[in-house]
Structure 1
């Protein structure tokens, strides 16, 4: 009972903390836009507004599709009230879908904290899953491009806007890494108690993701600082190839064909910055190919940047030193990832994932019933249960 109360309290505090960080991020976004306007940096302001609106629209579309595909998942009093008064469309139109889901999660977390109820735990799991997915999408659609933009500004303008850029970089990096680590932590829900991942595994998981994502974003920022137009062409060309690769994985994450293509396009965006497993089977070969290709791409971008900076006098030290630093961080990140998968990551097999008889929502994603991801068996599940099942299968493969 004490352990259940402890986990309920932790879930409640993490929910409130996530909501607080989301509000802080909005405040920093507004501050950045106003600052760009006051300093006459209209191009940067336009790019930032485009990123903010584009990422928010993408999140609202996913949220609306999930509500529409599975209206039975509207189970909290907050969501029922909004749906009863036909305000669901209005909330999404006003870009408030994430906060509606946060309100539902705060409600259910409060009820769980005050009174333990297995049904509330199942509802909480569904809410956590969809909210986490939306935050992960937002992180790579908004925070990662923003971080690239802010670092590019620093590389281009030196010490200008030091306080603003430092705060925004910290906020974006924290939100980005927090979303990635939350993905790692939420997957613990699909393991039996004796196989729960410890916090040490999350630390290693955080470090290798931080190093690899930071290296990628820094490289993109440096390239964009000297070739601001070519970075757009680079993104579009690489992104289209990545979307085709996702299509080749035969993903079945959404319940509709249009929704599935939107998901594939979003995964292509995530892959532009970081690895995200979306297919069944062993990920070892796919991961090796991904990091080999993206590593080569990263080094090519650094090479172009170094070639350009050889004729400029704006960089504080020789460009090849930066290449050595970033290459070392990339290799260190790969080594930490290997360490994580060797020592901490549980594989998807019956010895490590067992059926949780007393938790219906988790039983829908447990190994003995539905951990395989072939499309034939996927058709037996829809909505949040299908998405949770696929996520667990991909994560532990």
Structure 2
């Protein structure tokens, strides 16, 4: 397991700031839409926010419950109450700041120390807590941030009057996607002993791969929605069904209860609408090829439908710009994808095997597999 560094602590602080600002921007944008009488967009923005918050609170509380099975029931009731008011993420951020500060700035220990004060224990706690937060942020990104980005881009394409708050919402969405995807991969590398360090160049390549492919796909879906909202919904439901069926076939074992596992697989189906994830940590060459070949065919198909079905629309400047951006983002995204998996992605994959660090070795012969090793692996 790698060490928690000062860089990780700084990224944690940036993540907290973006999270708080993102909440403010969402309500600001929704209020602007309400003020202008555009109730549909306002309701969608708030709905995505509420849905993602509800899902993250459910998973966060279940993780607290699983980790605190022997804890005082009164403490669990307080934890439930905090999550009931949708503030559970702030508890996790508090612990992340506490252990992260100790791990990043107080790593040296002199003399005899207790087990809970041992530097290795602090490192493990900081990395595990950060991993949980990044897992929750992945849920938030694809349940809220990415759909909101789709709504904002669709509104810009549909209406000619553009406002500052719309651009602010789009910028915040891109920032949210950027931080969550990169931080997730960083946590994955730190939590799994077989993974190499995620260096700056590999972070950039990975970031551009994700952002460009997601942007291309969002632009494609926006074009379908402009053509026919019903067709867009049908397409998304069909693709979600394929993603959900794939998670069922993988027999994921992330959650302890069948109900939570079903919810988890449902969410992963939504995640797969926008980007690829290898949910079992196996070799990705075949599934990722199938995934992006399918996305490429659908994207090209959407542009061809416009070309032959709505030739008058093709002559409009906004379609020309959107079409070029869609193809350009897709091509560049796949180029960055190939570069990342060719030169930066580790060739070894996580296996559920017995492995010890200094802390584990004193605990006994069995090691509990961390939550992150059962989570979606890229």
Same-fold call, TM > 0.5?
Answer: yes
Contact 1:224 1:231 in 2 (8 A): yes
Q: Does 1:327 align with 2:327?
A: yes
Contact 1:223 1:302 in 2 (8 A): no
Q: Does 1:96 align with 2:87?
A: yes
Contact 1:67 1:73 in 2 (8 A): no
Q: After superposition, what is the alpha-carbon deviation per residue over 1:41-89, rounded to whole angstroms, capped at 9, x for unaligned?
A: 0111112121111111111111122222231598xxxxx9x96383211
Gaps spanning 5+ residues in structure 1: where?
Answer: 75-79, 371-379
Contact 2:139 2:267 in 1 (8 A): yes
Structure 2 equivalent of residue 216 of structure 1: 217
Q: Does 1:66 align with 2:50?
A: no
Structure 2 equivalent of residue 112 of structure 1: 103
Q: Distance in 2 between matches of 1:386 and 1:123?
A: 11
Q: Distance in 2 between matches of 1:67 and 1:171?
A: 29
Q: Distance in 2 between matches of 1:204 and 1:336?
A: 6
Alignment of 1:378-389 (within 5 A): 381=368, 385-389=369-373
**Given the superposition, is the C-alpha separation of residues 183 and 354 from structure 1 closer, same or farther in structure 2, using an over 3 Å criterion?**
farther
**Given the superposition, is the C-alpha separation of residues 280 and 160 from structure 1 closer, same or farther in structure 2, using an over 3 Å criterion?**
closer
| Larger mean Cα displacement after TM superposition, 21-30 or 39-48 | 39-48
Q: Distance in 1 between matches of 2:276 and 2:48?
A: 21
**Following superposition, which runs of at least 4 residues in structure 1 exceed 6 angstroms of deviation?**
191-194
SS of the residue 1:229 aligns to: helix
**Given the superposition, is the C-alpha separation of residues 189 and 359 from structure 1 closer, same or farther in structure 2, using an over 3 Å criterion?**
farther
| Larger mean Cα displacement after TM superposition, 36-45 or 324-333 | 324-333
Contact 1:306 1:320 in 2 (8 A): no
Structure 2 equivalent of residue 277 of structure 1: 278
Structure 2 equivalent of residue 375 of structure 1: none
**Given the superposition, is the C-alpha separation of residues 277 and 159 from structure 1 closer, same or farther in structure 2, using an over 3 Å criterion?**
same
Contact 1:33 1:49 in 2 (8 A): yes
TM-score (norm 2): 0.86
RMSD: 3.1
Structure 2 equivalent of residue 135 of structure 1: 137
Contact 1:12 1:113 in 2 (8 A): yes
- Give the Å deviation of 1:300: 2.6
**Given the superposition, is the C-alpha separation of residues 324 and 230 from structure 1 closer, same or farther in structure 2, using an over 3 Å criterion?**
same
Contact 2:142 2:271 in 1 (8 A): yes
Gaps spanning 5+ residues in structure 2: where?
Answer: 108-118
Structure 1 equivalent of residue 24 of structure 2: 27
- Give the Å deviation of 1:132: 0.5
Alignment: residue pair count: 363
